[in-house]
Amino acid sequence: MPSERKYRSQMIEFGKMLHQRGYVAAMDGNLSVRLDEDRILATPTAMCKSMMRVSDLVIVDLEGRRIQGRRNVSSEIGMHLLIYKLRPDIRGIVHAHPPTATGFAAAGMALNKPLVCEVVIGLGSIPLAGYGTPGTPELAAALEPLVPQYDAILMANHGVVAYADDLHQAYMKLETVEHFAQIALVTHLLGKQQPLAGTNLQKLMDIRGKYEGSRSVAPLPLDEAVQPVLQASASSAKAASSASANSGSRRSLAGHREASLRRS
């Protein structure tokens, strides 16, 4: 497991990347890492993520109380604490406002169509949480039903939160969300989408665990996308089997009739 010093360096690095890529502006966004069972390392409030220094980061307990650091804790620390509480496997969280994905969130649109195979493998689906006022329990309450099953969530009229077993993977998931949002936007502009479906979608779901860095628990609406096709395939097979049996019966009956005519 990396040392606290390594975690601090990573947080500074990814904070700069968020700002450089336009995923945050001004003092937006926040990052955190689970140091151990009792401590969370987090970015402070009211600081540009590209201007932070290692000494600016704060450590809080599981109630969000600052136990180390000179700056104030982010008002959105409650969102981070909720995710760590509901997902013991999570050790890193990134919250930002990437423009295209946040545009979908502001339009009230989830990114839940299986349009790109890499996104299906890496994230499954990106749902939309209802609106909750930042810095209040409303935000955590809006996220709570979705956190156990998804690794990245759009927050209505707010932004994106992504989380993983380390900060690096959490950042990569957030980057994937924004990239996928750009692709989805192009399909909307073209006026056509061609989602993966049926057995093609099922095969992607089956191989998710084989890809390094792909440990998402997020489901897809397989009942809608896959089951009808599987049921249709089963029905076709049953119909073919029935037709074959009927054909055999007809041939057998015809043979009996022919033999009877010869005897007469």
Residue 115 lies in a domain: yes
User: How many structural domains compose the chain?
Assistant: 2
CATH number of domain containing 93: 3.40.225.10
Based on the fold, state whether residues 32 and 109 are members of the same structural domain: yes
pLDDT of residue 245: 46
Contact 176, 122 (CB under 8 A): yes
**Mapping DSSP to helix (H, G, I), strand (E, B) and coil, where does residue 89 land?**
coil
Contact 96, 160 (CB under 8 A): yes
Contacts (Cβ under 8 Å, ≥6 apart) of 196: 114, 115, 117, 120, 204, 225
Based on the fold, state whether residues 39 and 150 are members of the same structural domain: yes
Q: Choose among 132, 133, 128: nearest CA to 107.
A: 128
Q: What angle do CA 172, 178, 184 make, to 5 degrees?
A: 130
Based on the fold, state whether residues 43 and 158 are members of the same structural domain: yes
pLDDT of residue 212: 62
β-strand 152-155 against 128-129: which pairing, if any?
Answer: parallel
Based on the fold, state whether residues 56 and 134 are members of the same structural domain: yes
Based on the fold, state whether residues 106 and 235 are members of the same structural domain: no
Based on the fold, state whether residues 184 and 233 are members of the same structural domain: no
Q: What is the full per-residue pLDDT of the chain (264 aa) written as tens digits?
A: 789 999 999 999 999 999 999 999 999 999 999 999 999 999 999 999 999 999 999 999 999 999 999 999 999 999 999 999 999 999 999 999 999 999 999 999 999 999 999 999 889 899 999 999 999 999 999 999 999 999 999 999 999 999 999 999 999 999 999 999 999 999 999 999 999 999 998 898 888 877 765 566 677 754 443 344 334 433 443 444 454 445 454 454 445 444 444 444
Q: Which of 190, 217, 246 is the last residue in one of the domains?
A: 190
Residue 214 lies in a domain: no
Residues 90/8/51/74 CA torsion (nearest 10 deg): 50
- Burial of residue 14 (CB within 10 Å: 0-12, 13-18, 19+) is buried
C-alpha 245/C-alpha 252 separation (Å) is: 10
In terms of pTM, does the model score above 0.95?
A: no
- Burial of residue 39 (CB within 10 Å: 0-12, 13-18, 19+) is middle
Based on the fold, state whether residues 151 and 73 are members of the same structural domain: yes
Q: Domain range spanning residue 106?
A: 4-190
